[in-house]
Amino acid sequence: MNFTQITPIFRIFDEVRAREFYLDFLEFELEFEHRFAENMPLYMGVRLGNFILHLSEHSGDATPCAAIYLEMNGLREYYARLAAKDYKYWLCT
**In 3-state terms, what secondary structure has residue 24?**
helix
Mean pLDDT score, 77-86: 90
Tens digit of each residue's pLDDT (9 = 90 or more) over 51-76:
999 999 998 888 878 888 888 999 99
* Domain residue limits, the chain: 9-83
Tens digit of each residue's pLDDT (9 = 90 or more) over 4-50:
888 999 999 999 999 999 999 999 999 999 999 999 999 999 999 99
Q: Which spans in 24-70 are helix H? A: none
- CB of 84 closer than 8 Å to CB of 92: no
Backbone angles phi, psi at 76, to 5 degrees: -60, -45
